[in-house]
Structure 1
Amino acid sequence: MMIRWLLAAVHLLGYGFALASIIGRTRALRQLSGPADLSRVFLADTGWGITAIVLIVTGLMRVFGGFEKGADYYLHEPLFHIKMAALVLILILEVMPMMALIRWRIAVKQGDTPDLALAGRFARIGHWQSVLLIVMVFAASGMARGIGAAA
């Protein structure tokens, strides 16, 4: 019982930290005027990466780890499918910014100046990721209250 509560609490907190990290990275990307501003982008990006891992691990544990209602319940829950579709879209949207930010980090460590031309596009991607994360929260809270439950 205690582990179920803790997993649920960490999972829910993860949404808040994820949203804050995505918004922080998006804001930092919008305000990016040169390599000197990258530390804010990297800090928020690290927070987003850690939080994404926490959300995915705790989510998998809750669905498949025997701590909650079980995979059969979730896999037959329409709102769960909406939540997972939003997650997949977030992850697909993350591929390009993640790869670029890895290249930027490497360039900075090597003393080079990274090409920051796509920062605006990555900020727009962050906006849509924030929207999708909010969709996930609505789907999760609906599931918790039995809304849209399979008959």
Structure 2
Amino acid sequence: MTVNILVALLHHIAAFTLVSTLLAELVLVRQPLTVSSAKSLRFIDSIYGLSAMLIIVLGVLRVMYFEKGQDYYLHSHAFMLKMTTFIIVGLLSIYPTVVFLRWGKAVKQNQLPVFPDAQVNTIQTILKLELAGVIFILAGAVLMAKGYSM
């Protein structure tokens, strides 16, 4: 029981961290880019990636070994909504991550990375879509918690 609680707690902390990093990235991307904010975006995005990996690992553990058992989850439409949306959000996050990673050489030399307005707008839109995806993930979680399979 104690391990179950710990895994659930860590899973939720990772999820809140993921949402926090998305919000932090959106705030930073809306401001004029500086070397400092570029470094921050790279760091925050790495925390985003780490939290996403933790969510996956801990979520798999919860489905397989804790909670209601994998048969319940794998036959739940609400769970499938959560997983599908999580995958879509993850795929959306690839583009900003690649952009931020490409800044590596410039920021290590304390130079301002190239960040054209079109790219700024694209990344802002992607971050907003990712945050909207979180709403669907939460909807799936609520439906599951209330026992709705859809």
Contact 1:27 1:123 in 2 (8 A): no
Q: Which residue of 2 aligns with 1:78?
A: 77
Q: Report the TM-score, using the length of structure 2 for normalisation.
A: 0.88
Using the alignment, how far apart are the partners of 1:113 and 1:139 within structure 2? 41
Q: Which residue of 2 aligns with 1:3?
A: 3
Is residue 2:118 matched to residue 1:124? Answer: no
Q: Which residue of 2 aligns with 1:97?
A: 96
Using the alignment, how far apart are the partners of 2:51 and 2:20 within structure 1? 10
Q: Which residue of 1 aligns with 2:139?
A: 138
Question: Which of 37-46 and 10-19 deviates more?
Answer: 37-46
Contact 2:38 2:100 in 1 (8 A): no
The offset of 1:56, in angstroms, is 1.1
The 1:41–1:109 alpha-carbon spacing in structure 2 relative to 1, beyond 3 Å, is: same
Using the alignment, how far apart are the partners of 2:37 and 2:2 within structure 1? 43
Using the alignment, how far apart are the partners of 1:110 and 1:33 within structure 2? 16
Q: Which residue of 2 aligns with 1:62?
A: 62
Contact 1:15 1:133 in 2 (8 A): no
Identity over aligned pairs, percent = 28
Q: Which residue of 1 aligns with 2:114?
A: 115
Show CA shifts across 1:75-105 (max 9, x none): 1001001001111110110111111111112
Using the alignment, how far apart are the partners of 2:56 and 2:70 within structure 1? 15
The offset of 1:113, in angstroms, is 4.0
Using the alignment, how far apart are the partners of 2:133 and 2:47 within structure 1? 18
**AA paired with 1:55?**
I
Gaps of 5+ in 2: none
The offset of 1:110, in angstroms, is 4.6
Q: Report the TM-score, using the length of structure 1 for normalisation.
A: 0.87
Using the alignment, how far apart are the partners of 2:78 and 2:31 within structure 1? 36
Using the alignment, how far apart are the partners of 2:11 and 2:135 within structure 1? 14
Using the alignment, how far apart are the partners of 1:32 and 1:44 within structure 2? 17
The offset of 1:116, in angstroms, is 1.0
**AA paired with 1:41?**
L
SS at match of 2:114: coil
RMSD over equivalenced CA pairs, Å: 1.8
Q: How many residues are paired up?
A: 148
